Amino acid sequence: MLHDKLKNYFEEQKEEYLKIFTDLVSIDTQTIEQGIGGGKEINGQQYLEKLLSSMGAVIQQDPILEETVQEGLHRFHEGNPGHNNEQRYNLIADFQGEGNERSLLFNGHIDTMPAGDPDKWERPPLAAVLEGGRCYGLGTSDMKAGLAAAICGVKLIQDAGIALPGKVRIVSVVDEEGGGNGSLSATMHGYNADAAVICEPTNCRIITANMGFIFFRIRVKGVSLHAGMKKMGVNAIEKAMKLIGALHELEKCWNTQYTHPELPPPSINIGSIKGGLAASAVPGECEFKLCLHYIPKAMTYESVYKEVTGALEKASGEDGWLSENPPEIEVYQQGDGFEMDRADPFVQEVYSTCRAVMGTGELAVSYTGNDARYYQKIARIPTVILGPGHPDKGHRPNEYIEIQNFYHCILVYANLILRWCR
């Protein structure tokens, strides 16, 4: 059932909620070099701290520490080391309910990707332009709308004069675009709850599974000299091609071994390759990067890493040069897969709430990764991904969100709090 007072007060206050969202969009929180160069998240965190404090939240700051990232790598194969963490911290806002009932956590990342070429934006990326039922701007879909909707969900309950039945925690994280060090830190430091909603862009669908991913960097050595004397050198690009061929064969094997009723088959994408100086010279070095995606549960980081390195070692062992000069293999970003049982009571509560608020509820999967894995893997709590943004509108110029989606999620989140935390 819906709480009738929420809908009435929502109609009175929705313009105020929209302003909270547009104010947040207008704040520059861009990440720099995907976190390696740092980020500007502190601008948004300071705004949110003031807003959430005015709502009565107990505020804590959770700094991102390199030792936490290293511990995450050691214990969970999660974490992206070497990022600039200066002035970067998660913001934890706790609203204590009247009773000691179940708690609920909303997670959203405050960082955005860089705006890129301003000439490709039809409207200023930080202007939060309202037009045709949409809000245009950097981070609107990915994912300031979701974070703002979670905050406004709590505010709506307060505005309606309804007591929170249990604890609600808002976690605004940094460095998500750099691989998720923010949520890694928050979960490892115990900022958890009895269940979690990741407010990533899903177009109001309930995501219960996504692929795992690993980024590899492979460096191959050769012997450089004039192309006219090729037989006396070693072409590093051609050696790299042998390794790439072995990876393609591994991908074919995976496609016959691993299936999922909704997710695509596992894949290995060679996304970048560089080597050599000129066509007239035998290249002495070649580096290629790949991103692979794998099916959750059926495949793990450990199994995938073992198969990839095994394929590269086998191919190297079959080549005279590579057997003596093996490639350098490095993992530079990774994230495990995520999958929730759709029969889980929390998933069903979210589903029934969506149907009650929007008249429909859709359980779906996502091809891309996000921070849900931390709450399942480290916090070990039921988790769904549900947010108002469009999954395909982030990381590109002219990003936007349908304002109605933003409004829908405020009502969904508010009703979910009252239903789950009772």
Q: What is the pLDDT of residue 1?
A: 52
Q: What is the pLDDT of residue 2?
A: 60
Q: What is the pLDDT of residue 369?
A: 85
Q: What is the pLDDT of residue 239?
A: 98
Q: How many residues does the chain have?
A: 422
Strands 89-95 and 168-173, bridge-based pairing:
antiparallel
Q: What is the pLDDT of residue 124?
A: 96
> pTM of the entire structure?
0.92
Q: Which two tokens stand for residue 151?
A: 């905050």
Cβ partners under 8 Å of residue 33, min gap 6: none
What does the alpha-carbon distance between residue 227 and residue 66 come to, in Å, rounded to a whole number? 46
What does the alpha-carbon distance between residue 82 and residue 71 come to, in Å, rounded to a whole number? 13
Under-70 pLDDT residues of the chain:
1-2
- In the chain the domains, ranked by start, together with CATH numbers, are 4-210+337-420 (3.40.630.10), 212-335 (3.30.70.360)
> Sheet holding 267-275: strands in order across?
267-275, 285-294, 212-221, 328-335
**What are the phi and psi torsion angles at 112 (to 5°)?**
-125, 160
Q: Which two tokens stand for residue 261?
A: 């009723």
What three-state secondary structure class fits 76? Answer: helix
